[in-house]
């Protein structure tokens, strides 16, 4: 000990601990042969193992456990409260009893670079290396090298566990990790729901609605019980009448079409664009010009069904928006209501030349539907959905429809539905919402990494993102001419995949009554047998992506398969626009 140190009596020091000057220690434990540099503070209930090196100016707070043989660089900061506040609700300064300590564990052999900041409630795995200046926001796998803000896995150092990680299955979607990362906050939200017992409606739902509207840049958001309900209510509230024709695409989840027919309208399809897989504006224009007549009254009538065509639902599939300027122009010309199916596109953006600005999914049509199904970019721990709109009138109609058509208690102006979002799901969604932008950014990074890895390999067609789009990659969809075998190969390598969607809706048994035939929508039909969704989620690591690509490349080399060749005469939107 020396006179420049402040070492409380309750500190437990092991044998041969070497302490520099200007150290502040209280209530902590330090193991044998550990060396502590100058200006280090270690707080109560923190423990440092044996043979560790703690460099100068580091702050180790309560709740931190450092195992043996750990290296900590200069000026490393630990934290132990995800939501610190200076004052209580009544304005008084918080005291120690208000502090909720979260724990952090640094497993043996890990090294933390100088200037790193470690957020609480996470684990840094054995032998992991954290780069200087990194900000650690989630647990770090053993033997990985991480860097950046927020830190990401760059690679693994050679070791047995690393080899095991390389053989571990890669799921198509990982729903466990994000929930584990937010477990404390989500459990708090759930507990609050239980303790207040306001399970349906009330301020928790309203607060989420306001926050989601703000996220989308929309004036209103009305929370409902699913994306399907959101679509159905939007169709009804926007004024589509029973018997009207509503246009959409055959390459979407069945819910888009279910919502149309359950609103007692008639679905008709237009084909998709070969490259974006979204509604083709060329085909929409062709449909409106060639497959409809305008009656004297100005009413647009479908030649196919003889019914008035009143609305169009572009689907922002896979997280990428449809070409909305072009669709809105056609809709204006033909007097169509536009409802966005944004169920896969929370936060996706479109550069509108008309408006000369980037616009978010959910703000371009009269109304838009979102799904909060668990696997969505913003997912509930159950079912959920929302409609966004700038119209107060549409928002009010949807509030009425979701609540048995009530305008006030037991006064039912129309027959409605039981279609509300429950309070616990609203609280869970509100807890997750602040993370959505970061998750979307991760998805974009993961997509860029796949593009980088596969660009030169030429084994599959990559997703196409036009310059007017900022997609949020709900799915990363490639196209190959040997899909089924590739799926089997990836499955045998422990890699999960999906197909979105294998059978176009016009060919589904459920829609035989619509009387469509094979050959009616050639692009959708071709695409549906070739598209393949590969693992995509924010927590996917670069190492996992490299393995997915390695397996795809080795399969393609072995089978001499490759990307699908687009037919010579394929008319792409791009070709039309540049012609
Ligand atoms: C494009 C699309 N539309 C609508 C829906 C329906 O949403 P939900 O499952 O929440 O009813 C989904 C959900 O998968 C979807 O992907």
What percent of the chain shows pLDDT beyond 90? 85
The predicted structure's pLDDT at residue 570: 47
Q: Which of the listed residues 228, 315, 339 should we mutate to test ligand 1's pocket, taking the one with most ligand atoms within 8 A of CB?
A: 228
Q: Is the pLDDT of residue 505 over 80?
A: yes
Q: Is the pLDDT of residue 213 over 80?
A: yes
The predicted structure's pLDDT at residue 154: 84
Q: Is the pLDDT of residue 573 over 70?
A: no
DSSP 317: G
Q: Which of 140-149, 238-247, 433-442, 494-503 has the lowest mean pLDDT?
A: 140-149
pLDDT digits (tens, 9 = 90+) for 338-393: 999 999 999 999 999 999 999 999 999 999 999 999 999 999 999 999 999 999 99
For residue 360, cis peptide bond before it (omega within 30 degrees of 0): no
Arithmetic mean of pLDDT, 284-303? 96
Arithmetic mean of pLDDT, 110-129? 94
Arithmetic mean of pLDDT, 433-437? 98
Arithmetic mean of pLDDT, 166-178? 92
Arithmetic mean of pLDDT, 136-149? 91
The predicted structure's pLDDT at residue 561: 64
Q: Is the pLDDT of residue 575 over 60?
A: no
**Separation of CA 228 and ligand 1 centre (Å):** 6
Residues 112/117/123/129 CA torsion (nearest 10 deg): -30
Buried-state track 469-502, b at ≥16 Cβ within 10 A, e below 16: bbbbbbbbbbbbbbbeebbebbeebebbbbbbbe
Please report which confidence band the pLDDT of residue 567 belongs to, taking 50, 70 and 90 as the band edges. Answer: low
Q: Which of ligand 1's atoms lies nearest the C-alpha of 231? A: 4
> Which DSSP helix (H) or strand (E) runs through 407?
strand 406-408
DSSP 512: G
Nearest CA to ligand 1 atom 12: 343
Please report which confidence band the pLDDT of residue 227 belongs to, taking 50, 70 and 90 as the band edges. Answer: very high
Q: Tokens 């979102």 appear where?
A: 370
Query: Collapsing DSSP states into helix, strand and coil, what is residue 86?
Result: coil
Tell which wins on pLDDT, 460 or 566.
460
Q: Is the pLDDT of residue 162 over 90?
A: no
Residues with C-beta less than 6 Å from any ligand 1 atom = 226-228, 231, 252-253, 255-256, 315, 341, 343-344, 371, 373, 385
Which positions ≥6 away from 264 have C-beta within 8 Å?
242, 243
**Separation of CA 405 and ligand 1 centre (Å):** 23
Q: Which of the listed residues 225, 227, 377 should we mutate to test ligand 1's pocket, taking the one with most ligand atoms within 8 A of CB?
A: 227
Which positions ≥6 away from 400 have C-beta within 8 Å?
406, 407, 413, 414, 416
The size of the chain, in residues, is 579
| Tokens, residue 222 | 């009305």
Count how many Cα atoms sit within 13 Å of the Cα of residue 163 in the half-sphere of its side chain: 3
Query: Collapsing DSSP states into helix, strand and coil, what is residue 423?
Result: helix
Q: Is the pLDDT of residue 214 over 90?
A: yes
Which positions ≥6 away from 177 have C-beta within 8 Å?
138, 539
Nearest CA to ligand 1 atom 10: 227
| Closest to 239 in 3D by CA, of 415, 393, 421, 411 | 393
Q: Is the pLDDT of residue 30 over 90?
A: yes
| Closest to 222 in 3D by CA, of 214, 213, 231 | 213
Please report which confidence band the pLDDT of residue 579 belongs to, taking 50, 70 and 90 as the band edges. Answer: very low
Pairing of strands 266-269, 245-248: parallel
Arithmetic mean of pLDDT, 6-18? 94
| Closest to 447 in 3D by CA, of 379, 550, 563, 540 | 540
The predicted structure's pLDDT at residue 159: 66
Mean model confidence pLDDT for the chain: 93
Nearest CA to ligand 1 atom 8: 227
The predicted structure's pLDDT at residue 340: 98
The predicted structure's pLDDT at residue 571: 46
- Pair 275, 464: CB distance under 8 Å: yes
Please report which confidence band the pLDDT of residue 164 belongs to, taking 50, 70 and 90 as the band edges. Answer: low
CB atoms within 10 A of CB 5: 15
The predicted structure's pLDDT at residue 3: 65
Q: Is the pLDDT of residue 142 over 90?
A: no
| Closest to 564 in 3D by CA, of 448, 446, 481, 467 | 481
Query: Phi/psi class of residue 320: alpha, beta or left (left: φ > 0; alpha: ψ in -120 to 50)?
Result: beta
- Distances in whole angstroms, Cα of residue 270 to Cα of each of 96, 236, 287, 298, 372: 63, 21, 7, 22, 26
The predicted structure's pLDDT at residue 569: 44
One DSSP character per residue, 138-206 reads S-B-TTEEEETTTTEEEEE-SSHHHHHHHHS-B-S---HHHHHHTHHHHHHHHHHHHHH---BSSHHHH
| Closest to 167 in 3D by CA, of 496, 454, 544, 545 | 544
Arithmetic mean of pLDDT, 320-327? 98
Q: Is the pLDDT of residue 578 over 50?
A: no
**Separation of CA 442 and ligand 1 centre (Å):** 22
Please report which confidence band the pLDDT of residue 99 belongs to, taking 50, 70 and 90 as the band edges. Answer: confident
Pairing of strands 349-352, 469-470: antiparallel
Q: Which of ligand 1's atoms lies nearest the C-alpha of 229? A: 11
Q: Is the pLDDT of residue 446 over 60?
A: yes
Q: Is 6 exposed, middle or buried (0-12, 13-18, 19+ CB in 10 A)?
A: exposed
Give φ, ψ of 60 to 5 degrees.
-115, 110
Q: Is the pLDDT of residue 523 over 80?
A: yes
What percent of the chain shows pLDDT beyond 70? 95
- Pair 78, 92: CB distance under 8 Å: no
Q: Which of 263-267, 382-386, 540-544 has the lowest mean pLDDT?
A: 540-544
Q: Is the pLDDT of residue 33 over 70?
A: yes
Please report which confidence band the pLDDT of residue 303 belongs to, taking 50, 70 and 90 as the band edges. Answer: very high
């Amino acid at each position: 000990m020396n006179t420049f140190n402040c070492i409380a009596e309750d500190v437990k020091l092991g044998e041969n601990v070497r302490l520099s000057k200007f150290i502040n220690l209280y209530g902590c434990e330090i193991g044998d042969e550990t060396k502590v540099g100058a200006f280090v503070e270690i707080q109560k209930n923190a423990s440092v193992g044996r043979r560790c090196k703690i460099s100068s100016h580091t702050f180790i707070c309560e709740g931190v456990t450092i195992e043996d043989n750990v290296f900590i660089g200069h000026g490393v900061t630990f934290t132990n409260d995800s939501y610190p506040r200076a004052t209580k609700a009544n304005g008084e300064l918080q005291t120690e009893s208000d502090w909720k300590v979260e724990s952090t564990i640094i497993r043996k052999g890990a090294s933390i670079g100088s200037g790193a900041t470690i957020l609480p409630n996470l684990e840094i795995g054995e032998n992991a290396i954290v780069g200087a200046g990194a900000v650690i926001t989630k647990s770090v796998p053993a033997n990985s090298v991480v860097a950046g803000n927020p830190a990401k896995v760059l690679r693994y150092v050679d070791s047995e566990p690393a080899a095991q990680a390389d053989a571990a299955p890669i799921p198509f979607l990982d729903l466990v990790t994000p929930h584990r990362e937010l477990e404390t906050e989500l459990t708090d939200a759930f507990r609050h729901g239980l303790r207040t017992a306001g399970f349906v409606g009330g301020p928790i739902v309203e607060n989420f609605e306001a926050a989601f509207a703000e996220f989308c840049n929309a004036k209103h958001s009305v929370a409902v019980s699913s994306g399907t309900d959101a679509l159905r209510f939007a169709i009804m509230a926007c004024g589509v009448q029973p018997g009207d024709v509503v246009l959409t695409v055959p390459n979407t989840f069945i819910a888009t079409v279910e919502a149309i027919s359950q609103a007692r309208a008639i679905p008709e399809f237009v084909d998709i664009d070969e490259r974006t897989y979204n509604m083709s504006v060329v085909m929409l224009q062709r449909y409106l010009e060639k497959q409809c007549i305008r009656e004297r009254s100005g009413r647009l009538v479908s030649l196919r069904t003889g019914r008035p065509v009143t609305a169009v639902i572009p689907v922002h599939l896979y997280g990428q928006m449809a070409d909305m300027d072009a669709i809105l122009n056609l809709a204006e010309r033909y007097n169509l209501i536009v409802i966005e199916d944004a169920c896969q596109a929370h936060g996706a953006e479109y550069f509108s030349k008309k408006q000369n600005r980037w616009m978010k999914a959910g703000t371009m049509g009269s109304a838009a539907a979102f799904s909060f199904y668990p696997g969505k970019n913003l997912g509930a721990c159950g079912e959920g959905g929302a409609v966004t709109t700038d119209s107060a009138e549409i928002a009010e109609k949807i509030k009425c429809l979701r609540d048995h058509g009530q305008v006030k208690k037991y006064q039912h102006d129309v027959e409605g539905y039981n279609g509300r979002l429950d309070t616990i799901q609203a609280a869970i969604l509100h807890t997750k919402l602040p993370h959505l932008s970061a998750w979307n950014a991760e998805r974009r990074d993961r997509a860029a990494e796949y593009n980088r890895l596969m660009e030169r390999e030429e084994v599959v067609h990559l997703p196409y993102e036009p310059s007017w789009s900022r997609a949020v990659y709900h799915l990363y969809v490639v196209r190959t001419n040997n899909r089924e075998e590739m799926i089997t190969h990836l499955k045998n390598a422990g890699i999960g995949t999906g197909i979105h969607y294998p059978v176009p809706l016009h060919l589904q048994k459920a829609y035989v009554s619509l009387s469509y035939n094979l050959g009616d929508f050639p692009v959708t039909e071709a695409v549906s047998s070739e598209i393949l969704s590969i693992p995509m989620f924010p927590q996917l690591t670069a190492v996992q992506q490299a393995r997915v690509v390695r397996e795809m490349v080795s399969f393609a080399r072995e089978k001499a398969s490759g990307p699908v060749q687009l037919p010579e005469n394929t008319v792409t939107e791009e070709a039309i626009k540049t012609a």
